[in-house]
């Protein structure tokens, strides 16, 4: 009957030296992994840390609605609840959002778009709002 032993030894600061010492004494293979190896994704380089603060959404009432479709007034833009862009026109992106998740389409003031960037599709607005 054989028993497999997986020891977990904890050293403060000098673990590598200690393991190399034991390897010299007992022989065998030494595989060294550091906490830094496993926690690399938790450093400030991780994608999570790069999530930008877009600014708090401050929805306003659209100037008007036509068959439920919110129409922009002066200084108003469309934003998505989870979007990085703002829209100055009823573009394909806005129309798609309205078609699939109308509740995710909001109207806010241009002054309140925060770090959101202008949508390129808005250069080619659709003729009809809905």
* Least distance CB 91 / Zn ion (angstroms): 3
126: its two tokens = 């659709």
Closest among 62, 53, 55, 64 to 111, alpha carbons compared: 55
**Interface residues toward Zn ion, by CB under 5 A:** 87, 91, 93, 119, 121-122
Angle (CA) 11-17-22 rounded to 5° is: 90
Strand ranges, E, within the chain: 64-66, 69-71, 76-80, 85-87, 105-109, 117-118
Nearer to Zn ion, 106 or 122 (CB): 122
Q: Which residue is nearest to Zn ion (CB)?
A: 119
* Least distance CB 61 / Zn ion (angstroms): 20
Angle (CA) 13-41-7 rounded to 5° is: 45
* Least distance CB 72 / Zn ion (angstroms): 11
Nearer to Zn ion, 91 or 106 (CB): 91
Instruction: Provide φ and ψ at 85, rounded to 5°.
Output: -120, 160
* Least distance CB 38 / Zn ion (angstroms): 42
């Amino acid at each position: 009957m054989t028993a497999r032993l997986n020891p977990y030894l904890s050293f403060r600061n000098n673990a590598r030296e200690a393991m190399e010492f034991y390897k010299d004494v007992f022989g065998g293979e030494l595989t060294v992994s550091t906490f830094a190896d496993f926690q690399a994704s938790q450093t400030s380089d991780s994608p999570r840390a790069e999530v930008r603060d877009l600014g708090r959404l401050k929805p306003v009432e659209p100037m008007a609605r036509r068959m439920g479709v919110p129409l922009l007034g002066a200084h108003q833009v469309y934003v998505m609840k989870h979007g990085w862009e703002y829209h100055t026109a009823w573009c394909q992106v806005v129309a798609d959002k309205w078609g699939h998740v109308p509740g995710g389409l909001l109207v806010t003031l241009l002054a309140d778009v925060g770090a959101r960037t202008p949508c390129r599709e808005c250069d080619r607005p659709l003729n009809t709002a809905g």
